[in-house]
Amino acid sequence: MRPLLAILILTALPILAEAPVREPFPADYKPSPCADPSKVCQSFNQSQFAEIAAIRGFDIGQEWVDAHWKELTEAIRPICAKVANCFAAPNSEFTFCNDLLREEIYKVCDRYPADSTDRTKCDFFIRIYWAGHDRHSKEPWSEAQACLTAQAPAIPVERTLDHWVVPASFGPDYKGSFVIYAIDSETRVPVRARLHLETKERIFAQDSADGLPTTFLRVPWNVKLQRVAAANGHQDVVPPLVRIEAPGYKTVTLRLPVEVPRMIVEATPPPAKWKPGKNTITILARDASTGEPVDARVMSGGYTILGNTNQPFELELVRGQKRPEIWVTSLYDRYSDAVVAPAGK
């Protein structure tokens, strides 16, 4: 038994993001002159596969390997071409490229019926093949990067990114993660970029080797909405901004596609019936989607607290004096401020 081979097979595969609607590596990418598909996807020898499978306790059988070798190695050639072009992309790493295309290469086994013996053996064939490819990736990646550096223009040209987020939208109570994908706008090759979230919460992306949020890897949604100045002098609640940064590319800034809850407010009695003197008023507040009551604070003018929503309070108006603006603010930064009654004359 070869210890190194055992380590390669026994090591758990990296967790990958759920497949997006768009291809993470589009089929219409522009090949790089520094990409050499013949130098990638160098795996273990055909004669080793049955032995390596046995390390994991699975009997693929050398006869099955030999019978399917040509079919499967030809099927993965287009994926290997993508690997070569990813190796030749700016700011790439061979581990990033291999993890990126792992899901796609496993789909090669979709040619066999689910739960069939061929499907099971193919899954382990691909796993072993990709482990061998991982082992031999550093040298072709280094050569591709050296070629890229040698062909770099004397005056660097800032490139642009095409990007999208999966899920395309989600609510603030979403329990899960999101993924930001980015490809070169011209070559349509994936770009490994850092994601900088403008939030107070610490973000740890467990799929990333260093824990830093990165394109194509899952980022947990465990941050809060943020307050920003609104045009009416109050504050709106918005999702946090994210900057996508990669050397040689123009920085992209976007807001996460979080569906911000909306609050509906109304006064009982309505402002038109408020009279000079003491008025007993209730500001009813509810979520626009669920209809559930919303706990918020009722404010007067600047920051004078009158009471809470859905509970009666007294408002004293003095004859001849301008009525202050009555507005509502969320206690938990979940809803934007809402004006109930503008300042009177």
- DSSP label at residue 113: P
For residue 195, what are its two tokens?
Answer: 């994601």
pLDDT of residue 105: 94
pLDDT score at 291: 95
- Give the pair of three-digit tokens for residue 49: 């596969």
**Other residues' Cβ atoms within 10 Å of the Cβ of residue 48:** 16
Asked whether the predicted pLDDT for residue 6 surpasses 50, the reply is: no
- What is the predicted pLDDT for the residue at 332? 87
Look at residue 52 in the predicted model and tell me its pLDDT.
84
What pLDDT sits at residue 222? 85
Angstrom distances, CA of residue 281 to CA of 95, 271, 316, 319, 329: 63, 9, 10, 18, 17
Per-residue pLDDT at 345: 60
Q: In this predicted model, what pLDDT tens digit does every residue of 252-308 receive, in sequence order?
A: 999 999 999 999 999 999 999 999 999 999 999 999 999 999 999 999 988 899 999
- Specify whether the CB–CB gap between 14 and 102 falls below 8 A: yes
> What's the pLDDT band for 43 if we cut at 50, 70, 90?
very high
Give the pLDDT band of residue 1 (cuts 50, 70, 90). very low
Asked if residue 20 has pLDDT above 80, the reply is no
| DSSP 8-state code for residue 159 | B
Model confidence over 154-179: pLDDT tens digits?
777 889 999 999 999 999 999 999 99
Looking at residue 302, its pLDDT comes to 83
E strand segments, the chain: 161-166, 177-184, 194-197, 219-220, 226-229, 235-238, 241-245, 252-255, 263-268, 277-287, 296-300, 304-308, 312-317, 326-330, 338-341
Average pLDDT value over all residues in the chain: 90
Determine the residue type at 309: T
17-21, 83-87, 124-128, 314-318 — which one is most confidently predicted on average? 83-87
Q: Which residue has the tokens 């603010």?
A: 329
- pLDDT score of 73 more than 90: yes
Residue 123 has pLDDT above 70, yes or no: yes
pLDDT above 50: residue 50:
yes
Residue 19 has pLDDT above 50, yes or no: no
pLDDT (tens digit per residue) in 225-265? 999 999 988 999 999 999 999 999 999 999 999 999 999 99
How far apart are alpha carbons 51 and 30 in whole angstroms? 39
Predicted local distance difference test score (pLDDT) of residue 16: 46
Per the CB < 8 A criterion, the answer to whether 15 and 217 are in contact is: no
Residue 279 has what pLDDT?
95
pLDDT of 308: 97
pLDDT of 56 higher than 80: no
CA angle 54, 60, 64 (to 5 degrees): 145
